[in-house]
Chains A and B, each alone.
Chain A
Amino acid sequence: MIQLETNFEPKIVGFLCRWCSYAGADLAGTSRIKYPPNVNTIRVNCSGRVDPTLVLKALALGADGVLIAGCHPGDCHYTNGNVKALRRFRLLQKMLDQFGIERERVRLEWVSASEGERYARVVRGMTEDVRSLGPLNWKARVEAVA
């Protein structure tokens, strides 16, 4: 079911934690590092805030991918919110499998406040990966089999 959409621009929702990954994304900005514009960011205080339900809602409403970015383990501003995010993420992945949604569409990455280049690389990589997977078409895929 690979759709060859030559002009497909993936729409990716990004949840970035304000202390590390959002600051890292800002650093990419101050360093003027270029990356594709496909990730629209929502700033949360901690990656632990990201409820898996919100991730699924984002996909259901039209996103082709979701990025959750937090601090490296050990560096969480709130001690271990990122570790909790990781646990939830693992369970979410199992759920995605059950829906028949490719795991590559939802990604959890650690980006520190000094990793501007890394943030850009994550965005580039994810954009290309989701682009090659094609549009999600949640309605067609999930609701059709329900």
Chain B
Amino acid sequence: MGTKRVGVFVCHCGLNIAGMVKVKEVIDKANKQPGVVFAVDHKYLCAEPGQTLIKDSIRQHQLDAIVVAACSPAMHEATFKNIAQLSGLNRYNCEVANIREQSSWVHDDSDKATSKAQIAVRQGIEKVKLNEPLQPITVPVTRRVLVIGGGIAGIRAALDVANGGYQVYLVEKSGSIGGRMAQLSETFPTLDCSICILGPLMVEVYRHPNIKLLRLSRVEEVKGYIGNFKVRVRQEPPYVEEAKCNACGECAKVCPAQVPNEFDFGLTWRKAIYTPFAQAVPPAYVLDSTNCLGLLPQACGECKKACDQFGTGCMNLDAWPQVHELEVGAIIVATGYELYDATKLTEYGYGIFSDVMTSLEFERMLSASGPTSGEIRRPSDGETPREIVFIQCAGQREPETALPYCSKICCMYTARHAMMFHHKVPEGQAYVFYMDIRAGGKGYEEFVKRCQEERGLLYLRGRVAKVYEENGKLVVKGVDTLSGKRVQINADLVVLAVGMIPSSETHELASKLKASLDANGFFSEAHPKLRPLESPTAGIFMAGAGQAPKDIPDTVAQASGAASKALDLLSSPTLEREPTVAQVVGELCSGCGICIPSCPYEALSLNAETKLAEVSEALCEGCGTCIASCPSSALSLRNLTDEQMLAMIEAIVAS
């Protein structure tokens, strides 16, 4: 290979590095390393002048390889590799030494931070000297997208990708798309009727030639990698032929099995054969086999009889789950949220006192299609409540006992709820217990002010210590910190603004996708500011409340953004994959096969003829687990060989 001429570039990063690390000393030390023919520092290597400096230096000093000592490789490794490539070098002849996040920012002793930086640079030099000039592996891109979740985020993303000309699979676990937005009565701050603005989008999805809607479906397994995902989706049967069903409802009339209706959070009942809600898409009924009296053997069958006699004869009780093997290039995750379990908030008595409700339950009650046709009633006796208490921040912003974060939308919807209550019950009085009012969106502050001023809502800045029942009323004991007085309200109804948590099956799905979750169980973004729409796992994008609590405008914007990322991925028929994969050194391999089961991707196999191990470069993800398992050192990880690891270890301990 010959000795490489190595150039070292040390970034000041303004004062972020230079304020603690003595850059000149790093340069001096670098110059003393064998192989280094040039070393220079610069204020901002990632900026245009810095990049030009690198390019020019490579040319002027005929450098074969460069080490850039700067921020974490997670930040700008790609940037510097690109510059190396543009300057005529193979991009693997560029290494980044982390002297900011893991040196200048975490140590307060300048000498120690400097020597640590010197070591990091030395590690980079030793590694880059041994790097092979690899070429990326080109793989074809499957130009189809999978969207998981049929709420507003999934709907928007699917439409954008489909309108962009590519096929989309939209997988939804329930019997209809629409998600949470379909459950809302109005949306803030415009007070649009939620289903009215959502409905047309749902229909558009259903009719779109590029969208294949798979309802009652869940992702079972995900294999492959960016551009080449193989996803197994399991679809439960509806026992109803979608195309033929005209939603006449004759089946439901005769069904004997009644269960709490999830759409109304158990405030109403539905039959085992049902339509999720009036505007459901697809507009076909679904048989819920778990709650049906029995299909194997058939215990009832009245629904089918009614359908055959009075309906379109579209039922088939002899149906089985279907397994779809989908091949897609990109996956957009839009799995949304549910509410934190309010029974855990024992101070409020949810689940014990029937007149304590969650915000979503109240939302259903407000809805014209809800349990009370839009009238506000107490669940206990059906009477109209006069005094209603809204408690914001229920189980949130409480790191010790509940959720530590803020769910962003509760101040807004509580204002809307309180206002709608006053509108429907003009002689009533609403009280809102709050800690802060967070109304940061466009028109939000004005909306809250309007609610407070126009309708005589009483906003009390303080928390509620306890809610209990006495003489048919709910005694709410709280405090008003602005007046400094304790407050007791004998309310008819209490509504809790409970926090948003990721949907129940998020954790399982994340494992299948190998997409990371954050500390609160939401999908992690690769970088909160620079890459908010993509998972660190390549090829997976995200939108909506599954990534973090957010309102509808932000959800829709994020969904379109995620779609655009997916379209970007699909815009070319091929994709380049990292070539830093495992390779077998034939002469050393004894064919023992120990490495085979160590690979989670089944990228290793024993060649039928040679009986030696071989690696499928397309499947190999480059984790290196097999390397450590080989007793003969016959496996090697390109550009992170044992030799390179040893060289880096020596660079560390030699000092």
Contact = CB atoms under 8 A, between A and B. Distances in A.
Within 8 Å by CB, do A and B touch in the complex?
Answer: yes
B652 interface: yes
Nearest to B517: A75
Interface in B34-55: none
Interface in A41-75: 41-46, 48-54, 57-58, 61-63, 74-75
B652 A37 contact: no
Contacts of B511: 74
Given A41-B102, A49-B625, A84-B628, 19 more contacts: A19-B516, A34-B108, A37-B106, A37-B109, A37-B113, A40-B123, A48-B624, A48-B628, A50-B628, A52-B628, A54-B642, A57-B649, A61-B649, A61-B653, A62-B653, A75-B517, A77-B516, A81-B623, A120-B106
B245 interface: no
25 contacts: A19-B536, A23-B536, A26-B74, A26-B101, A29-B105, A35-B106, A37-B106, A37-B107, A40-B652, A42-B123, A45-B623, A48-B624, A49-B623, A49-B625, A49-B627, A49-B637, A51-B627, A54-B646, A61-B649, A62-B653, A81-B623, A84-B628, A88-B628, A112-B516, A114-B518
B486 interface: no
B112 A40 contact: no
A48 B625 contact: yes
Interface of B: 72-74, 98, 100-103, 105-109, 112-113, 115-116, 119-120, 123, 511, 514, 516-519, 524, 536-537, 580, 598, 600-601, 621-625, 627-629, 637, 640, 642, 645-646, 648-650, 652-654
B649 A54 contact: yes
B206 to A, nearest CB: 36
Nearest to B629: A84
Nearest to B515: A77
Given A19-B516, A35-B106, A40-B119, A61 B625 contact: no
A125 B137 CA distance: 42
Contacts of A113: 516, 524, 536
Contacts of A112: 516, 519
A29 B100 contact: yes
A80 interface: yes
A13 B108 contact: no
Contact of A28 (B106, B115, B637, B648): B106
A78 B649 contact: no
Contacts of A105: none
Contact of A13 (B115, B536, B640, B649): B649
Q: Which 3 A-B pairs have the closest CB atoms?
A: A29-B101, A49-B624, A48-B625
Contacts of A49: 623-625, 627-628, 637, 640
A105 to B, nearest CB: 14
A33 interface: yes
Contacts of B652: 11, 13, 40, 42, 58, 63
Contacts of B514: 77-79
A53 to B, nearest CB: 8
A63 B537 CA distance: 34
Contacts of B629: 84
A34 B107 contact: yes
A32 B598 contact: no
Contacts of A7: none
A84 to B, nearest CB: 5
A98 interface: no
Given A34-B106, A49-B624, A84 B516 contact: no
A62 B642 CA distance: 18
A34 B101 CA distance: 11
Nearest to A77: B514
Nearest to A53: B642
A51 B645 CA distance: 10
A103 B645 CA distance: 23
Nearest to B119: A40
A2 to B, nearest CB: 22
A85 B627 CA distance: 12
Contacts of A26: 72, 74, 98, 101-102
A33 B623 CA distance: 29
A30 interface: yes
Contact of A45 (B72, B516, B640, B653): B640
B467 to A, nearest CB: 34
Contacts of B100: 29
A126 interface: no
A13 B653 contact: yes
Interface in A99-121: 112-115, 120
Given A42-B123, A63-B653, A37 B628 contact: no
B222 to A, nearest CB: 11
B649 A42 contact: yes
A44 B640 contact: yes
A63 B649 contact: yes
Nearest to A19: B536
A71 to B, nearest CB: 8
B650 A61 contact: yes
Contacts of B107: 34-37
Given A19-B516, A77-B516, A80-B600, A37 B627 contact: no
Nearest to B598: A84
A115 B115 CA distance: 26
Contact of B74 (A23, A75, A120): A23
A130 interface: no
A57 to B, nearest CB: 6
Q: Which of A25, A45, A50, A61 has the most CB of B within 10 A?
A: A45
Contacts of A37: 103, 106-107, 109, 112-113, 115-116
A139 B18 CA distance: 38
A41 B116 CA distance: 10
B623 A75 contact: no
A35 B109 CA distance: 10
Contact of B653 (A11, A52, A120): A11
B649 A25 contact: no
A78 B623 contact: yes
A112 B652 CA distance: 24
A41 B650 CA distance: 12
B409 to A, nearest CB: 23
Contacts of A18: 74
Contacts of A61: 649-650, 653-654
Nearest to B75: A26
Contacts of B623: 45-46, 48-49, 77-78, 81
Contacts of A48: 598, 623-625, 628
Contacts of B112: 37
B387 to A, nearest CB: 43
A8 to B, nearest CB: 14
Nearest to A40: B652
B648 A42 contact: yes
Nearest to A32: B105
Contacts of B519: 112, 114-115
